[in-house]
């Protein structure tokens, strides 16, 4: 990563684009599975985590922020995936109608999902390119700074979605635990 930014960005973008189409391919080929959904989520988290770890090393002032973003990303997606599967959903993208409206919009509309994920990843890529390459002038402006500036609000919104996802999944799992306890108490009374 520190020595080959063109190769790194190329491979990272290819990885993200393949991630955008693998679910469509699985559905088209009738190859969907819970294993595939979980594996997809895990590989997504690993990809982003690797980049954020590097960013923490080149921007040490913001290392704690990058560590927080890694923790939020992993925990929110894990909690969401686990609560979805625990509730019997076929996919973590199946959102109940009474769920948070932002979470519904995020998962129900593939264009919104792609836009948010792409913008989030592009912000991190822009930070990477800022740290590893020379300025890329376009009409007296640095293209790297333009990309970071344009994608920052998308990244911030994606982190808000992650918080909503974490809270929503926590509430869902707590409700399941409450129902399980009630059922156990009812069995003990019999």
Q: List the catalytic residues.
A: 44
Is residue 7 within a helix (H) or strand (E), and if so which, with residue range? Answer: helix 5-28
First to last CA, the chain: 63
User: DSSP letters of 35-73?
Assistant: HHHHHHHHHHHHHHHHHHHHHHHH-GGGHHHHHHHHHHH
Angle, helix 63-86 to helix 34-58, in steps of 10 degrees? 170
* Cα–Cα distance measured from residue 144 to residue 33, given in angstroms and rounded to the nearest whole number: 39
Residue for token pair 């390119």:
129
Residues ≥6 apart with Cβ < 8 Å to 158: 116, 117, 119, 120
Contacts of 127 (CB under 8 A, 6+ apart): 55, 59, 148
């Amino acid at each position: 990563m520190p020595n080959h930014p063109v190769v790194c960005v190329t491979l990272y973008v290819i990885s993200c684009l393949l991630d955008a189409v693998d679910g469509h391919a699985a559905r088209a080929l009738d190859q969907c599975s819970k294993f595939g959904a979980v594996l997809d989520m895990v590989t997504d988290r690993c990809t982003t985590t690797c980049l954020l770890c590097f960013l923490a090393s080149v921007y040490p002032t913001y290392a704690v922020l990058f560590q927080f973003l890694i923790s939020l990303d992993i925990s929110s997606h894990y909690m969401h995936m686990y609560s979805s599967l625990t509730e019997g959903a076929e996919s973590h993208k199946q959102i109940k109608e009474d769920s948070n409206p932002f979470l519904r919009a995020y998962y129900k509309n593939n264009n919104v999902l792609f836009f948010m994920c792409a913008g989030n990843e592009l912000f991190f890529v822009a930070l990477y390119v800022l740290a590893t390459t020379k300025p890329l002038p376009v009409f007296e402006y640095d293209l790297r700074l333009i990309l970071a500036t344009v994608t920052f609000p998308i990244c911030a919104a994606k982190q808000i979605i992650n918080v909503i996802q974490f809270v929503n999944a926590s509430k869902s799992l707590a409700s399941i635990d409450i129902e399980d306890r009630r059922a156990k108490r009812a069995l003990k009374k019999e």
